[in-house]
Amino acid sequence: MATGNARGAHEKEISSLRPFFDPRGVAIVGATRTPGFGYLLPLVLRRRGFAEQVFLVNPAGGELHGYPLLTSLEEVPDWVDLAVVLVPAPVVPQVLDEIGRKGIRCAVVESAGFAETGEDGKRLQEEARRVAASWGLRVIGPNCVGVVNTENGFSTVEVLDEALIPGPVGIVAQSGVFGNILLDMLPGLGVRISKAFTLGNRMDVDEVDALRFLERDPYTRVIMMYLEGAARGRELLSTLGEVAQRKPVLVLKSGRTEAGSRAAASHTGSMAGEDRLYDALFAQTGAIRADSLEELVDLARVFSTQPLPRGGRLGVVTTSGSLGALASDAASSAGLELPALSPATVARMREGAPRWMSVRNPLDVGPSGHFHKAMLAVMEDEGTDMVLGIYVVPYAVVKELEAMGLGWEILVGDLAQVRERAPEKPLVMCCLGKEEFVRGLQGLAGDGIPVLPSPERAARALSAIYQYAHRVRYER
Amino acid sequence: MATGNARGAHEKEISSLRPFFDPRGVAIVGATRTPGFGYLLPLVLRRRGFAEQVFLVNPAGGELHGYPLLTSLEEVPDWVDLAVVLVPAPVVPQVLDEIGRKGIRCAVVESAGFAETGEDGKRLQEEARRVAASWGLRVIGPNCVGVVNTENGFSTVEVLDEALIPGPVGIVAQSGVFGNILLDMLPGLGVRISKAFTLGNRMDVDEVDALRFLERDPYTRVIMMYLEGAARGRELLSTLGEVAQRKPVLVLKSGRTEAGSRAAASHTGSMAGEDRLYDALFAQTGAIRADSLEELVDLARVFSTQPLPRGGRLGVVTTSGSLGALASDAASSAGLELPALSPATVARMREGAPRWMSVRNPLDVGPSGHFHKAMLAVMEDEGTDMVLGIYVVPYAVVKELEAMGLGWEILVGDLAQVRERAPEKPLVMCCLGKEEFVRGLQGLAGDGIPVLPSPERAARALSAIYQYAHRVRYER
């Protein structure tokens, strides 16, 4: 019995979070006829197919969207296992008490006005925490928007339809707005989500719980996380170390500087820890730390769509020598190698190439029209482990082609074919120029090939996936 | 006579470049009926109002677009002062000889196939250089697309109409494609151009000449430059030092690493210099070095639209605490200060603010609806020298407002009014989320307020303009 106890307790703790994502029934406490989230959430859940599982609670009674407004939690059926709390902060401890008494074991508290507002709020939050703990209630929040589960379409926040297209990326965000913004932004960049946690002030459920949950979630292959200080530093360290062995964990942490720490502390009520400590910590665990929000998103795009490379040898094909040089600089600084092309690739490219074309790596095809051929050749080159294709063309050329009744797609060639030619190699594209053109190229690339907006960012993301693959292969 | 001689020679040298941007007449050598640039350029120039100034040369004779194809340069009128050369590389030396003999003193050689292709190309370029020098001919190129002048609409390359909207930014780019891409991309980001040089292999005119020319150009207030190694290192140093005293010079240089240097060398035929040397060099001169292409563009946006700040005290207003924290980190790392708000601002903001709102810097207004009020207050706060407004809102909120027949603009308020409230302070916005929303906010901000896509980039650009202002004010 002794052996495996910790693990068993652990499993149980994690499985206690299941109703947050897949509730049998949901009580919405604070549903209301006044415009706002208490008015909208029932509509959102009904639209997502949860009409029969939703129960609205408001002491004022009456009706909303055809549902009766139950005057007390006691009227909610006993099989309801999740409560979403939208009432003003001062009432929250009492509502949590009623939820606990009802036998509900999970609550999302979206209300703000707790530790993030100062001493009074801290006391209120502590009171709420004590009440919840006395009932063994698991709480996400307060000051959050709860969860999203694309597997069944359940969410405690209104999100765009495209954010619910299922995919491999699990999200852990501290603040609600920030989580919301990620959910708005990521689908347009081809990042598909499995589950999202917004943790808010982390009265109970924190990033350690979220990591453990996503580690076991079969739909989640990659975890992206935004942290503003760790609630439990030691546990975060050991958990990251274990989770990162199984799934890439991409982390952005604010509070790098004193000013950032103060800002973070004031809005989700947590003190951001010592930054250098975190850097060391992340490096030990194998979690991948992003330097900026943009890098976090770039990493999510590349890690969720590309295979892990065998090595760090990068082949670059470009229509602009300058952008090729910038990519080479960034790749090289980030620890990637730009190997010489194999003799077979050189021979293949020389054939039919214009005199001015230098067949080397980066392979600058200029306006030769050999971009597609070069992409195929460099993908198939045995000396490369990953490929970056930089495609730019002056928009005047696009317009000329259009005037001739041609689409500029013919210049780029079939990118799906390029992708298939070496499925084991990460492939990233880079494109910049007129907005319409960049969007068009993203359309041609589809969700399976990330198109990044700068050569430096593309090279850094490829370096990160190489570093991770290397660690997984050789250091474990 | 001795005093001022160098300066006089200098002025003369710079004024010798004038026909590149404002020619009396242009001979297009290599105009041709086959599709391509020799076919298009006459059309482009005619459309821009240069119909009467264009003369086409092609030994084959005949007609193109209603122009006679002159069989020799001798047939071109004597007042023509610029030649654009589009013939194959091997013929270029001979064509330059004919141009020189004709008495034309400026030539743009767009043809590729010179030093960028290897030893044979280097020899050919050297031959062309000797011929040009023997006639005192000023040459831009080879392997470039020449120039753009928005003042009169003249360009030796086809560009989009919006790229010709006049503005304050002078561009120096080595490669033609890259210059083209900048011209495609910048107008959509609100960067208006004065003049652009693409220098190619720099057989004669180089970045030193271009800097000197733009220094004196009254239409150019900000210079952005992409370098792949200096043709004349010492002159570049002294020139940058002088020019940067008068106008901000933003520089991106590739060739930071060996791989980047090799890549740069192979495409415009120049060896990129030692990177650390450049870093020191730029720091001495007061030129502002961008770390990436994106940063170069961010800097151009901020420097071309914002005033120089009096100091480095940044006020941040945000609807997302997380983004505020990331901005604080980046600003603080980059040497900016986040001062406490003045008592007057605090009092003003507390009035009517919800209980949960912490009135401090960054000022996180959350979903209070107080964003506009906060922007006005922080702009007017005497303790701030510059302001960053971070506006994000979950797209679901935008959709709700639309369903109520309202535009989300009401949430943001009048940004022009914010701008006017403190015209002496740089103002930058940051927005991310769903693409439509971000574009919408850029529309509200207009060209006068840059909207950057990440808090870190916004903070770094503000830091750069502060550093520059500080140097201009206190170190000269």
Give residue-wise pLDDT tens across range B334-374. Answer: 999 999 999 999 999 999 998 778 899 999 998 888 999 99
| A5 CB neighbour count, 10 Å cutoff | 9
Judge: domain B307-474, CATH 3.30.1330.10: no
Peptide bond into B362 cis (omega under 30): yes
* Residue A151 C-alpha, separation from nearest chain B C-alpha, in angstroms: 20
B-chain residues near A316 (CB < 8 A): 263
Q: Give the model's confidence band at B405: pLDDT under 50 very low, under 70 low, under 90 confident, else very high.
A: confident
What would the pLDDT profile of B435-460 be if each residue is shown by its tens digit? 999 999 999 999 899 999 999 999 99
Write the DSSP assignment of B321-356 as a string of letters. Answer: HHHHHHHHHHHHHTT-B-PPPPHHHHHHHHTT--TT
pLDDT at B472: 85
Percent residues over pLDDT 70 in chain B: 92
Least confident of A6-20, A178-192, B364-378: A6-20
Where do the structural domains in chain B lie, given as residue ranges? 6-140, 146-304, 307-474
Q: In CATH terms, is domain A146-304 a member of 1.10.357.10? A: no
What CA–CA distance (Å, rounded) separates A209 from A212? 5
Report residue B243's pLDDT band, with 50, 70 and 90 as the boundaries.
very high
CB contact under 8 A, B358 and A116: yes
- Scored b (16 or more CB within 10 A) or e, B112-123 reads bbbbbbeeebee
User: What is the ipTM score, two decimals?
Assistant: 0.89
Q: Averaged over B112-131, what is the pLDDT?
A: 93
Tokens of B65: 């677009």
Residue type, B208: V
Q: Taking all residues of chain A, what is their mean pLDDT, rounded to a whole number?
A: 91
pLDDT bin (cut points 50, 70, 90) of residue A218 is very high
Choose among B186, B189, B191, B180: nearest CA to B158.
B180
The answer on pLDDT for A290 being more than 70 is yes
- Cα distances from A340 to residues A316, A388, B21, B339, in angstroms, run 11, 15, 41, 52
pLDDT of A442? 93
Token duo for residue B212: 């000197």
* Least confident residue range of B139-143, B281-285, B289-293, B308-312: B281-285
pLDDT band, very low/low/confident/very high, at A156 (cuts 50, 70, 90): very high
Checking if the pLDDT of A273 tops 60, the result is: no
| Unique residue bearing structure tokens 């197919």 | A49
The number of CA neighbours under 13 Å toward the Cβ of B267 is: 35
Helix/strand/coil (H/E/C) assignment for every residue in chain A: CCCCHHHHHHHHHHHCCHHHHCCCCEEEECCCCCCCHHHHHHHHHHHHHHHHHEEEECCCCCEECCEEEECCHHHCCCCCCEEEECCCHHHHHHHHHHHHHHCCCEEEECCCCCHHHCHHHHHHHHHHHHHHHHCCCEEECCCCCEEEECCCCEECCCCCHHHHCEEEEEEEECCHHHHHHHHHHCHHHCCCEEEEEECCCCCCCCHHHHHHHHHHCCCCCEEEEEECCCCCHHHHHHHHHHHHHHCCEEEEECCCCHHHHHHHHHHHCCCCCCHHHHHHHHHHHCCEECCCHHHHHHHHHHHHHCCCCCCCEEEEEECCHHHHHHHHHHHHHCCCECCCCCHHHHHHHHCCCCCCCCCCCCEECCCCCCHHHHHHHHHHCCCCCEEEEECCCCHHHHHHHHHCCCCCHHHHCCHHHHHHHCCCCCEEEECCCCHHHHHHHHHHHCCCCCEECCHHHHHHHHHHHHHHHHHHHHCC
CB < 8 Å from B in window 196-255 of A: 226, 228, 252, 254-255
Q: Tens digits of per-residue pLDDT, A70-93? A: 999 999 999 999 999 999 999 999
Closest CA to A371 of A397, A389, A350, A346: A389
Mean pLDDT confidence for B108-132: 94
Cβ-Cβ contacts under 8 Å, A260 against chain B: 325-326, 328-329, 332
pLDDT in tens, A174-188: 888 889 899 999 999
**Alpha carbons B442 and B429: distance in angstroms, whole number:** 9
Name, in order, each residue with C-beta under 8 angstroms of B231's C-beta and a sequence gap of 6 or more: B202, B206, B207, B208, B270
Q: State how far the Cα of B382 lies from the Cα of B315, in Å rounded to an integer.
A: 10
Residue B11's pLDDT is what? 65
Superfamily holding A6-140: NAD(P)-binding Rossmann-like Domain (3.40.50.720)
Q: Which of A22-36, A50-64, A462-476 has the lowest mean pLDDT?
A: A462-476
Give the angle subtended at the CA of A428 by the CAs of A149 and A460, to the nearest 5°. 90
A385-394, B297-306, B399-408: lowest mean pLDDT where?
A: B399-408
* Per-residue confidence (pLDDT) for residue A4, from 0 to 100: 44
Cβ distance of A395 and B184 shorter than 8 Å? yes
pLDDT, average across residues B214-243: 91
Report CA-CA distances (Å) from A166 to A24, A47, A162, A225, B71: 21, 17, 9, 18, 66
Distance in Å, alpha carbon of B160 to nearest chain A alpha carbon: 7
Contact assessment for residue B422 and residue B380, using Cβ atoms and an 8 Å cutoff: yes
Q: Are A196 and A79 in contact (CB under 8 A)?
A: no
Q: How far apart are CA B316 and CA B361, in angstroms?
A: 6
CATH topology identical between A146-304 and A307-474? yes
Residue-wise pLDDT tens digits, A303-361: 999 999 999 999 999 999 999 999 999 999 999 999 999 999 999 999 999 877 889 99
**Range in A391-395, B143-147, B262-266 with the lowest mean pLDDT:** B262-266
Banded model confidence at residue B30, pLDDT cuts 50, 70, 90:
very high
Which residues from A are below 8 Å from B437, CB to CB?
184
List of chain B residues whose C-beta atoms are within 8 Å of the C-beta of residue A293? 323, 326, 432, 454-456
pLDDT given for residue B275 in this prediction: 65
User: Which residues of chain B make contact with A356, given a CB cutoff of 8 A?
Assistant: 89, 112-113, 116-117, 121
pLDDT, position A275: 65
pLDDT digits (tens, 9 = 90+) for B184-202: 999 999 999 999 999 999 9
Predicted local confidence at residue B271, as pLDDT: 43
- Residue B126 pLDDT exceeds 90: yes
End-to-end Cα distance, chain B: 30
Residue A132 to chain B, least CA–CA distance (Å): 22
